[in-house]
């Protein structure tokens, strides 16, 4: 009896507890539960924005294909009663994906600093329709990355962004890389992540950035390996390796986003000026020569800097491998002037009339010509002044000497007229 009573009391207590627990627990919604509202294309929030989620596209997404449910990302929905609050907690992708690279990137730090225009996971990957980057429909597919990055960096008037960070896409599209990517359809053509990285994008002023000045040759060399090797052997590359901050890198000559084809005449003419940004004196003396005058007029059938010095493996003239070394100079001239001899190769393409040590004969000749020019102009200037003064005095003397006769001649004519008028009245 006592046992029966105790059993009944235990059973009653169990039922009471079960009912109480059931009253507190909320069954997490299934994907079908969510789609009852979010599967309706006409469903909108109070502010009018759509809440529609395409069920088939989610099912085909990387998350849907793995059997993820809505509450795997929207964790606060698991304990929420439906219909849920209008504003859900932000999805935290780092619960499954390591976000340490993003947190250190310019995007992550800008976001932490309160710049809401900075890209998040959704900005680049989407939300419910995320595809693997190998999928042509993915926002991060090779040929779609330019459009994805361009959503922010393609708008020159993008609010909240630095002017230098906007309008980049337009310059890239016309570059040799952009043409190979967009028109040529080449998978090997670089796109934004090729140079800047994906999640770990850093500012160009940060030493770990792929586009930091000293890292640029390695970044470009990931595709242009042969050029990277020759550049490293050249004087510019050696200066860079020695830590010279003024040593040029790829982007100094080729620019960063608007890289033109090196074979185009326009770029070959413009790059002369790029060399001159560092070698100003050499550019000045080059412009004084026939080569420089012709290129300045826009013609390219004469030698430019790269024709004599090389392009990527520029070496000093003391280096036996340099094309302007004394032993190689005639062969270098022969590439444009076949049949030239050793005397022809003695021509100085950077002769400087202001440099006495380099070109003493030219220096003194220039000084003589300057003196001669000043003397000629000075002599004839004085001669002309004296002649003008004498001419003025002679004209004045002549005018004064003949003035009485002129007045007499003028008065006679007046008297004659007066007499003629008087006779008429009589």
Mean pLDDT by 10 residues, the chain (426 residues): 39 42 68 91 87 93 94 90 85 94 95 91 95 96 94 74 71 93 95 95 95 96 96 96 93 93 91 93 94 93 93 95 95 94 92 93 95 97 96 92 80 49 44
* Beta carbons of 359 and 281 less than 8 angstroms apart: no
Query: What is the reported pLDDT for 404?
Result: 80
pLDDT at 15: 42
Q: Which two tokens stand for residue 282?
A: 């050499």
Contacts of 120-124 with C-beta under 8 Å, sequence gap 24+, read: 121/93, 121/97, 122/91, 123/148, 123/151, 123/152, 124/148, 124/149
Q: Does the pTM of the predicted model rise above 0.85?
A: no
Listed in sequence order, the residues at least 6 apart from 311 whose beta carbon sits closer than 8 Å to its beta carbon are 262
- Is-contact 293 300, C-beta < 8 A? no
What is the secondary structure of 172-201 as a DSSP string? HHTSHHHIIIIIS--TTS--HHHHH-SS--
The tens digit of pLDDT for each residue in 280-322 reads 999 999 999 999 999 999 998 899 999 999 999 999 999 999 9
- The H or E element spanning position 107 is helix 106-112
pLDDT tens-digit profile of 111-168? 999 988 899 999 999 999 999 999 999 999 999 999 999 988 887 666 566 666 667 8
Which pLDDT belongs to residue 363? Answer: 95
Q: What is the pLDDT of residue 27?
A: 85
Q: What is the pLDDT of residue 413?
A: 52
Q: Dihedral of CA 5/7/12/16: which sign?
A: positive
Rounded Cα gap, residues 311 and 327, in angstroms: 19
Which letter does DSSP use for residue 312 in this model?
S
Backbone angles phi, psi at 271, to 5 degrees: -65, -20
Closest CA to 364 of 354, 374, 376: 354
* Joined tokens for residue 143: 């040929």
3-state secondary structure (DSSP) of residue 44: strand
Asked if 355 and 365 count as a contact pair (C-beta separation under 8 A), the reply is: no
Distance CA 168, CA 163 (A): 10
Task: Give pLDDT, residue 169.
Answer: 86
């Amino acid at each position: 009896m006592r046992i029966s009573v105790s059993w009944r009391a235990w059973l009653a207590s169990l039922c009471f507890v079960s009912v109480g627990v059931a009253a507190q627990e909320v069954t997490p919604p299934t994907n079908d539960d969510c789609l009852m509202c979010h599967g309706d294309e006409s469903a909108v929030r109070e502010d009018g924005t759509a809440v529609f989620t395409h069920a088939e596209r989610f099912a085909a997404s990387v998350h849907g294909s793995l059997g993820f449910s809505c509450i795997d990302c929207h964790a606060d929905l698991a304990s929420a009663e439906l219909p849920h609050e209008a504003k859900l907690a932000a999805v935290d992708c780092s619960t499954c994906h390591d976000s340490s690279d993003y947190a250190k990137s310019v995007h992550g730090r800008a976001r932490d600093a309160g710049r809401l225009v900075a890209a998040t996971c959704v900005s680049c990957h989407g939300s419910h329709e995320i595809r693997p980057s190998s999928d042509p429909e993915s926002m991060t597919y090779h040929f779609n990355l330019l459009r994805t990055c361009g959503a922010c960096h393609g708008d020159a008037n993008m609010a909240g962004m630095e002017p230098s960070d906007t309008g980049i896409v337009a310059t890239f599209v016309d570059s040799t890389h952009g043409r190979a990517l967009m028109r040529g359809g080449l998978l090997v053509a670089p796109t934004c992540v090729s140079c800047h990285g994906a999640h770990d994008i850093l500012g160009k002023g940060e030493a770990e950035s792929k586009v930091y000045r000293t890292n640029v040759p390695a970044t470009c060399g990931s595709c242009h390996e042969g050029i990277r090797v020759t550049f490293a052997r050249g004087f510019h590359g050696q200066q860079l390796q020695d830590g010279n901050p003024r040593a040029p890198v790829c982007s100094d000559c080729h620019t960063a986003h608007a890289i033109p084809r090196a074979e185009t005449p326009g770029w070959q003419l413009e790059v002369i000026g790029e060399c001159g940004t560092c070698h100003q004196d050499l550019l000045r003396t080059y412009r004084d020569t026939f080569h420089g005058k012709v290129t300045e007029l826009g013609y390219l059938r004469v030698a430019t800097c790269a024709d004599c010095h090389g392009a990527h493996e520029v070496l000093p003239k003391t280096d036996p491998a340099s094309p302007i070394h004394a032993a190689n100079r005639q062969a270098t001239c022969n590439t444009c002037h076949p049949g030239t001899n050793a005397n022809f190769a003695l021509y100085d393409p950077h002769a400087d009339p202001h440099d006495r040590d380099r070109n003493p004969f030219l220096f003194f000749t220039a000084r003589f010509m300057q003196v001669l020019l000043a003397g000629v102009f000075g002599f004839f200037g004085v001669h002309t002044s004296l002649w003008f003064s004498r001419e003025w005095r002679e004209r004045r003397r002549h005018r004064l000497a003949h003035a009485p006769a002129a007045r007499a001649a003028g008065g006679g004519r007046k008297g004659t007229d007066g007499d003629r008028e008087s006779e008429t009245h009589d």
